[in-house]
Chains A and B, each alone.
Chain A
Amino acid sequence: MNRRHLLATAALGLSLAFGGAASAQDKTKACFVYVGPIGDGGWTYQHHQGALAVQEAYGDKVEIAWQENVPEGADAERVLTQMALGGCDIIFTTSFGYMDPTNAVAKKFPNVKFEHATGFKRESPNVSTYNARFYEGRAVQGVIAGRMTKTNKIGYIGSFPIPEVIMGINSYYLHAKKVNPDVELTVVWAFTWFDPAKEADAAKAMIEQGVDVIASHTDSTAPLAEAAKAGGKVIGFGQASDMTEYKPSPRVSSIIDNWAPYYVKRVGALMDGTYEQQDAWEGIAGGEVQIGEITDAIPADVKAEAEKLRDDIAAGTYHPFTGPINKQDGSAWLAEGQTAPDGDLLGMGFYVEGIKGDIPK
């Protein structure tokens, strides 16, 4: 191949690329970046359900694309750049660790919209953030845990020590403590979002310590599988997804992340030109956080109590973080009747009073 031929080929390639971009404009392309595999049965699975809902809602007018198992960090930046170059009009990055890559790539592609889940940085006007108030669901789980534990030891498998997770731990503990003052909380940090064997080991370590109610903040169903081995003595909750296969026990309830309404709304806004940068944080009321069916393994009165709490939160008459609440070191955080401002929650880096142990830095 001589040089002229080579140049001609390159020119052809370029024109094809631009032609491709032009023709892609009459179809809105929504792209999704996942931290785990779609088949994780939890976090990523739910985001993908949201993506499919977008496709369903707009049919031929949108095109969706996604990439699974994208590591948080430099790899994410490469994937995002590739997507932006590949004609994506809006990119949803669905894990906290994509925060800096998302903002970095967004600066280079001002015409592409970026939506980052669970983060707080919006450094350029084309970056929006969205999150769900999972701590509302944790409050409901806390009530069930506090009422159901026989050993008075409840557990929480943490992924990474970020505000999102710490918020969940605090809410879970506060509400368990409220109904059962003797309750003790054991937190185990797995330092992973997805590693079924390690998640199962963490659950096992807790069960050996006498913990009989386990909540998890990791993505797979492994902790429930481990709880199931204990032969009915240990219960747990579905996390991110309903995890119905472990009904009626050990899975006695669940927090379901329902991203579909948000994804459909945002892609729709982009298509009809009403799209604006925003910081969305909906909870049970907005339908983003759903409480999965509380099974018959839970006595009727406890079920009713948990459901009442859920309805109160949905109605806005109760905030899971209502004072008086002290920090772990005993200093005051919220005064009597005061509810937690969102800013405090989003930057939460402390345990509430009564939780033992330190948060890893």
Chain B
Amino acid sequence: MFGGIDPALLIASLMVASVPILLAATGELVVEKAGVLNLGVEGMMIMGAVCGFITAVVTGSPALGFLGGAAGGAGLSLLFALLTQVMQANQVASGLALTLFGLGLSSLLGQGYVGIKPPHTGAVPFGPLADIPFFGRVIFGHDPLVYLSVLAVAAVWIFLRNARGGLILRAVGESHEAAHALGYKVRRIRVLAILFGGAMAGLGGAYISLVRVPQWTDGITAGAGWIALAIVVFASWRPWRVLLGAWLFGGITVLQLNLQAAGSGIPVEYLSMSPYLITILVLVIMSSGRGRAALNAPASLGQNFHAAR
């Protein structure tokens, strides 16, 4: 115990609090690595939140709910893929439009679902492991999505680093002309990356409406998608740093609320601004190091490609 806060509970709740932004940021990382800037994360998250909620309520199964959420997010991202990859629309504008559209559509879909409770998502049964002091609560007391979010980071890391597909994806993101000249299907790869990003954002959204705040309310994601976008930049497009960023941001948000509840003497103003302040600090430190953070951005990020030549 420090300052009246139980660290085991604190770490456990920060892991839970950061799952939505972690999932969404991991998906967006892959999208941006493929050279596509999709600013519609917020819209895809909230579509995932409402689709996941509806699926879970109708079928009674949280697992199907998460699948429905991923499908909802991916479905909306398909629209983005159509606009930017087929019709060559501007990515920034399309992404922003996607967010606005997602917010409106989710509100429409969710009309009949306000005030309903979704089926409960239980913790993974680890049996006796969950009874180990401290570690039992911190590591073995969560629902499946918490583990999945960490596994997803590891999988994306290995994929981008070692898998052939990952190398192709990065090539597409660095120089789509060169990748095209080598015979890779730039547009197809990008569409797949966008779909993956949409599914991950949808999953993150569904986590909010099914686990963190088990209910449907208009605008339930309340800006989490924008934080996920920022974390990708914060992480300078590296998977493990995404994890760090998400936990840092989620952690400080939870910590400041806990410090308030525990009656620490620190003025609330400082506590409330701390997540943003520390994020800025870390950004400054990281980018001042070797001045490479900005250089790490995929070279073709945000540029449309059409195979004219």
Q: How would residues 71 to 86 of chain B score, 1 for a CB under 8 Å from any chain A CB and 0 otherwise? A: 0000000000000000
Q: In whole angstroms, what is the CA distance A69 to B254 when docked?
A: 25
Residue B114, interface by CB 8 Å: yes
Taking the nearest CB of chain B, how far is it from the CB of A267, in angstroms?
26
Query: Which A residues touch B253, using CB under 8 A?
Result: 198, 201
Q: Does the CB pair A186–B263 fall under 8 Å?
A: yes
Given known A195-B222, A209-B4, A209-B261, contact A361–B217 (CB-CB < 8 A): no
Given known A37-B107, A39-B111, A189-B268, contact A197–B20 (CB-CB < 8 A): yes
Q: In whole angstroms, what is the CA distance A220 to B215 when docked?
A: 10
Interface-facing stretch out of A117-125, A221-229, A302-310 = A221-229
Query: Which B residues touch A349, using CB under 8 A?
Result: none
Q: In whole angstroms, what is the CA distance A221 to B116 when docked?
A: 11
Query: Which B residues touch A358, using CB under 8 A?
Result: 267-268
Query: Which B residues touch A313, using CB under 8 A?
Result: none
Taking the nearest CB of chain A, how far is it from the CB of B118, in angstroms?
10
Q: Does the CB pair A245–B116 fall under 8 Å?
A: yes
Query: Which A residues touch B218, using CB under 8 A?
Result: 36-40
Interface-facing stretch out of B155-163, B170-178, B206-214 = B206-214
Query: Which A residues touch B6, using CB under 8 A?
Result: 208
Q: How many residues of A contact B (CB 8 A)?
A: 45
Q: Does the CB pair A360–B268 fall under 8 Å?
A: yes
Residue A325, interface by CB 8 Å: no
Q: In whole angstroms, what is the CA distance A155 to B258 when docked?
A: 13
Please indicate which of the listed interface residues B4, B220, B269 has the most CB atoms of chain A within 10 Å of its own CB. B220
Residue B203, interface by CB 8 Å: no
Q: How would residues 228 to 264 of chain B score, 1 for a CB under 8 Å from any chain A CB and 0 otherwise? A: 0000000000000000000000000110011011110
Residue A211, interface by CB 8 Å: yes
Q: Does the CB pair B213–A202 fall under 8 Å?
A: no
Residue A248, interface by CB 8 Å: no
Q: In whole angstroms, what is the CA distance A284 to B218 when docked?
A: 29
Q: Does the CB pair A206–B261 fall under 8 Å?
A: yes
Residue B304, interface by CB 8 Å: no
Q: How would residues 120 to 146 of chain A score, 1 for a CB under 8 Å from any chain B CB and 0 otherwise? A: 000000000000000000000000000
Given known A188-B257, A202-B257, contact A69–B213 (CB-CB < 8 A): no
Query: Which A residues touch B114, using CB under 8 A?
Result: 39, 41
Q: How would residues 193 to 236 of chain A score, 1 for a CB under 8 Å from any chain B CB and 0 otherwise? A: 01111111110111011010000000011100110110000000
Q: Of all chain B residues, which has the CB nearest A211? A: B261
Q: How would residues 138 to 166 of chain B score, 1 for a CB under 8 Å from any chain A CB and 0 otherwise? A: 00000000000000000000000000000
Of all A-B residue pairs in the complex, the 6 with the closest CB atoms, nearest first, are A37-B218, A39-B218, A245-B115, A195-B222, A360-B268, A205-B261
Q: A197-B208, A221-B115, A245-B115 are known; give 13 further A-B pairs, CB within 8 A.
A: A37-B218, A40-B218, A40-B219, A194-B222, A195-B222, A196-B208, A196-B215, A205-B257, A205-B261, A208-B261, A209-B5, A221-B217, A244-B115
